[in-house]
Amino acid sequence: MKSTVHSVVSALALAVASVSLTPDAGAQDSSKQLFELRVYNLKSKEKAEIFDRTVKDAYLPALKRAGVGPVGVFRKKDAGEGDPEIRYMVIPYDSADGMLKLKKMLESDAEFASAAADYLSAGKGGEIVDRIESTLLLGFDGMPKLKLPGAAGDTPNRYFELRKYESLSEMKGILKVQMFNKAELAIFAKVGLDGVFFGQALVGADLPQLTYMLVYDDEAAKEAAWKGFLEHPDWLVLKEDQTYKDTVSKIVSTFLLAMDYSQVK
């Protein structure tokens, strides 16, 4: 219990510190969404099919009834035959209260329970999910809400990148968020690095960290955009700013494809 309380207090302190270091954050704070990033580690390919059917036919319709969405569901881009079945889910909430209301609604939603019966009734020996990892993120001032990519009809090779930046300390993590808000997001926009969401982790693994998602029309677009970023004069100046020295200690990058039923694709 003591460690749980400490974790919650630390998360709240991190959020408050972030606001205090960001100009005019108070005026924008009410517009920020919370993003829950879930990682589902599934038992097998067959179990993944049940999971996908449940999300498509039961979970997403229930969230729509609750006014929650759009929800993104993804799989690893380069997963090979025999690799673990993993799904990544991004759920935007307009408030913490909205998260609690959704949980309560699902517990009493008969339509959801009926449509998700195969998933919900799985017992010992028939488990569908091995483990579920969850991270709660607070939207950046510079991009407070999830942004849907343009229509994917003419971009058959579209894919996504989930990027996690870990920091050595809470203060370094806060400064990295500030760096994005003050200048880095603007450079992304100039060079065509299109974001889906940007969030500062409040609760989850590998704290302190921030996580964001980019979308690329294809590999050539990705390479061109990152080349433009690394060579952009604004970035060349920004990266030398000693205020932001050593704000990132580790970068974890995961390339993803949207599931056909994903509302973000």
pLDDT tens digits for range 96-128: 999 999 999 999 999 999 999 999 999 888 899
Could you give the CA distance from residue 248 to residue 250 in angstroms, rounded to a whole number?
A: 6
Token pair 């994903």 in the structure block, residue: 262
For residue 81, the tally of other CB atoms under 10 A from its CB is 5
* Predicted pLDDT of residue 85: 95
- pTM for this one? 0.87
* Predicted pLDDT of residue 29: 59
pLDDT above 90 covers a percentage of the chain that reads 82
Domain boundaries, position 55 = 2-258
Model confidence at 80: pLDDT above 60? yes
* Predicted pLDDT of residue 30: 63
* Predicted pLDDT of residue 7: 41
Query: Is the distance from CB of 93 to CB of 158 less than 8 angstroms?
Result: no
Could you give the CA distance from residue 218 to residue 227 in angstroms, rounded to a whole number?
A: 14
Q: Which of 21-25, 40-44, 212-216, 238-242 has the lowest mean pLDDT?
A: 21-25
Give the count of domains, the chain: 1
Any domain includes 265: no
Any domain includes 74: yes
* Predicted pLDDT of residue 83: 86
Any domain includes 263: no
Any domain includes 145: yes
* Predicted pLDDT of residue 19: 40
Establish how many alpha carbons lie within 13 A of residue 81's alpha carbon, considering only the half-sphere containing its beta carbon: 0
Query: Is the distance from CB of 200 to CB of 173 less than 8 angstroms?
Result: yes
Average pLDDT in the 72-79 region?
Answer: 95
Any domain includes 264: no
* Predicted pLDDT of residue 234: 98
Average pLDDT in the 75-89 region?
Answer: 92
Task: Please report, for the domain that includes residue 23, its CATH number.
Answer: 3.30.70.100
Model confidence at 40: pLDDT above 70? yes
Average pLDDT in the 198-205 region?
Answer: 97
Any domain includes 140: yes
Query: Is the distance from CB of 31 to CB of 138 less than 8 angstroms?
Result: no
User: pLDDT tens for residues 237-260?
Assistant: 999 999 999 999 999 999 999 999
CA distances from 151 to 77, 206, 228 (A): 19, 34, 24
* Predicted pLDDT of residue 134: 97
Could you give the CA distance from residue 140 to residue 177 in angstroms, rounded to a whole number?
A: 7
For residue 115, the tally of other CB atoms under 10 A from its CB is 19
Length of the chain: 265
Model confidence at 8: pLDDT above 80? no
Any domain includes 189: yes
* Predicted pLDDT of residue 150: 85
For residue 195, the tally of other CB atoms under 10 A from its CB is 20
Model confidence at 213: pLDDT above 90? yes
* Predicted pLDDT of residue 152: 67
Model confidence at 1: pLDDT above 80? no
* Tokens representing residue 215 in the block: 């979308």
User: pLDDT tens for residues 9-29?
Assistant: 444 444 444 444 443 333 335
Query: Is the distance from CB of 91 to CB of 137 less than 8 angstroms?
Result: no
Any domain includes 183: yes
Could you give the CA distance from residue 89 to residue 71 in angstroms, rounded to a whole number?
A: 7
Average pLDDT in the 168-176 region?
Answer: 98
User: pLDDT tens for residues 132-168?
Assistant: 999 999 999 999 999 999 876 678 899 999 999 999 9
What 3 state SS string does the chain have? CHHHHHHHHHHHHHHHHHHHHCCCHHHHHHHCCEEEEEEEEECCHHHHHHHHHHHHHHHHHHHHHCCCCCCEEEEECCCCCCCCEEEEEEEEECCHHHHHHHHHHHHCCHHHHHHCHHHHCCCCCCCCEEEEEEEEEEECCCCCCCCCCCCCCCCCCCEEEEEEEECCCHHHHHHHHHHHHHHHHHHHHHHCCEEEEEEEEEECCCCCEEEEEEEECCHHHHHHHHHHHHHCHHHHHHCCCHHHCCCCCEEEEEEEEECCCCCCC
Average pLDDT, the chain: 90
